[in-house]
Structure 1
Amino acid sequence: MKREDVLMEALPYIQKFYGRTIVIKLGGHAMVDQNILETVIRDAVLLRYVGMKVVLVHGGGPEITAKMQAMGKEPRFVGGLRITDAETLEIAQMVLVGKINDGIVSLIANCGTRAVGISGNDGNLLIARKMEPQRVRVGEVEEEVDLGRVGEIEEVDPEVLHCLLAQNYIPVVAPIAIDRQGGSLNINADTAAAEIAIALQAFKLINLTDVDGVMNADRTM
């Protein structure tokens, strides 16, 4: 197909999405395979250049696990959520904010546009409360497990995102939230992306992951 034909085919979609907000959650192999990550970033930058407002929310579970193990700390999970004591939270912040977030911002810059990396506690973007202990079954016994510094979102203040989008930046959000006492909490990245999309009244939420989610087995979607 000729380039002009591709552009003409894409035109109705560009017109439909122009000026709309799209939230993209990066996870799975999109985070650990550099080639996939670079491709996704180029696509996100393209969306920005054709007039869409793009917000990226990223996870980092495999990288956090690898860092914990390298430091001699074995990860524990309950119901898919990481048990997060003070040391684990510090490692998570180090990986999410200090490494992954900064790396994504650099990739966006290499593609010729501007991005700002933030976490959910910047500008009180994500306000959360500590999650209640979770009841789990171990063999025949049901017991409560305290997840530590794991939070569930109470409120989203998207003002900082609106400011960045208005200045044509791509915000890159790490899933760390703040509680009402000023402490940090680890947040599930899928939940963070969904809540941010709702707060921004986003036109689309795109979840890039290799983890099975909502599927329809009866027909092709």
Structure 2
Amino acid sequence: MTRDFNATAKTLSQALPYLQRYAGAIVVVKFGGNAMGDQDAMAEFARDIVLMKQVGLNPVVVHGGGPMINEMLDRLGIKSEFVRGKRVTDQATVEVVEMVLTGLVNKRIVQAIMDEGGRAVGLSGKDDDLLVAEADNPELGFVGRPVEMNVQVLHDLNTAGIIPVVAPVATGMDPAETFNVNGDTAAGAIAGALKADRLLLLTDVSGVKGADGEVLTELSPAKVTQLTDDGIIAGGMIPKTETALKAIEDGVRAVVILDGRIPNACLIELFTEYGAGTLIREARPAS
């Protein structure tokens, strides 16, 4: 038992430089994937976010909810059409998206954070014009791309000690319009507008893999572009790396694509020397 206590104390001691390094830092966390549907995983994620806030970071949670949207569409008998693998979001579908993301999913995450002793407020991109979007592709209907941001409300909440939890639903240039925004895209846009220190994209994969199938622990934007051109970064990883590159271009210090299925993935990435995925940032000059 003593050895266990000693190991815990040593871990805390080793974390000190990282706690000091991130004091006051803004960290945007995109939460999604299988963990959202698992009660224990949700509680663990919430505990990590509360700990981040408790030790002086300013986390902002942005979430998805695709499986929950699919389930509700099926229950309501609303059929989806797809164009080149992407869902066409008509008026009926976007109403379901808004209902599920801003209601069911958002409030589950808020409640999980509250249950772990944190303070959280749920909002969507429509609140205070946080996210204003335009159609990303007219063929897809109400699928949006953020074009204007107003992140003051996120600063205000963080200053008040409250963790913002954001559903990726946006208003349009016409206020009568509502757009569904990809969760990664929304997280990247919010992180860029906040000039966040870190954007953590939690996924169901271990990170960006090289030609040998091994996870690449650190990449520069130039290397990401090269790997994409070579076809090594492909499929569903391309939108995530594109989000990472855009966020870095907009002022985010670094982006990490990491496996959200790993227990305490965010804490491992931020507060240990090992990291938990693929870190993407501008190459540091040689000393």
The TM-score with structure 2 as length reference comes to 0.69
Q: Deviations over 1:40-68 (max 9, x none)?
A: 11111111100000000000001100110
Q: Secondary structure at the match of 1:168?
A: coil
- Higher RCO, 1 vs 2 (CA within 8 Å, ≥6 residues apart): 1
**Does residue 169 of the first structure (1) align with residue 162 of the second (2)?**
yes
Number of residue pairs aligned between Structure 1 and Structure 2: 209
Distance 2:153 2:62 in 1: 14
Measure how far apart 1:81 and its partner are: 3.4
Q: 2:117 aligns with which of 109, 112, 115?
A: 112
Distance 1:48 1:211 in 2: 26
Measure how far apart 1:214 and its partner are: 3.9
Distance 1:167 1:94 in 2: 27
RMSD over aligned Cα atoms: 1.6
Q: Secondary structure at the match of 1:44?
A: helix
**Does residue 179 of the first structure (1) align with residue 175 of the second (2)?**
no
Q: Deviations over 1:140-174 (max 9, x none)?
A: xxxxxx21111111111111111111111100000
Q: Would the aligned equivalents of 2:89 and 2:142 in 1 still touch at CA under 8 Å?
A: yes
Gapped regions of structure 2 (runs ≥ 5): 218-287
> Which stretch has the larger CA shift, 168-177 or 33-42?
33-42
> Which stretch has the larger CA shift, 27-36 or 60-69?
27-36
Measure how far apart 1:31 and its partner are: 1.3
The TM-score with structure 1 as length reference comes to 0.89
Measure how far apart 1:122 and its partner are: 0.4
Q: 2:198 aligns with which of 204, 217, 220?
A: 204
- 1:204–1:79 Cα change, 3 Å: farther
Distance 1:158 1:125 in 2: 6
Q: 2:68 aligns with which of 63, 66, 71?
A: 63
Paired position in structure 2 for 1:140: none
Paired position in structure 2 for 1:76: 81
Q: Secondary structure at the match of 1:172?
A: strand
Distance 2:137 2:24 in 1: 39
Q: Among the aligned pairs, what percent are the same residue? A: 45
The residue type equivalent to 1:194 in the other structure is: G
Q: Would the aligned equivalents of 1:28 and 1:211 in 2 still touch at CA under 8 Å?
A: no
More strand by share: 1
Paired position in structure 1 for 2:52: 47
Measure how far apart 1:130 and its partner are: 1.6
Q: Would the aligned equivalents of 2:43 and 2:116 in 1 still touch at CA under 8 Å?
A: no
Paired position in structure 1 for 2:107: 102
Q: Secondary structure at the match of 1:215?
A: coil
Q: Secondary structure at the match of 1:18?
A: coil
The residue type equivalent to 1:150 in the other structure is: V
Q: 1:160 aligns with which of 143, 153, 161?
A: 153
Q: Would the aligned equivalents of 2:135 and 2:145 in 1 still touch at CA under 8 Å?
A: yes
After TM superposition, the structure 1 = structure 2 runs for residues 116-131 of structure 1, keeping only pairs within 5 Å, are: 116-131=121-136
Paired position in structure 2 for 1:29: 34
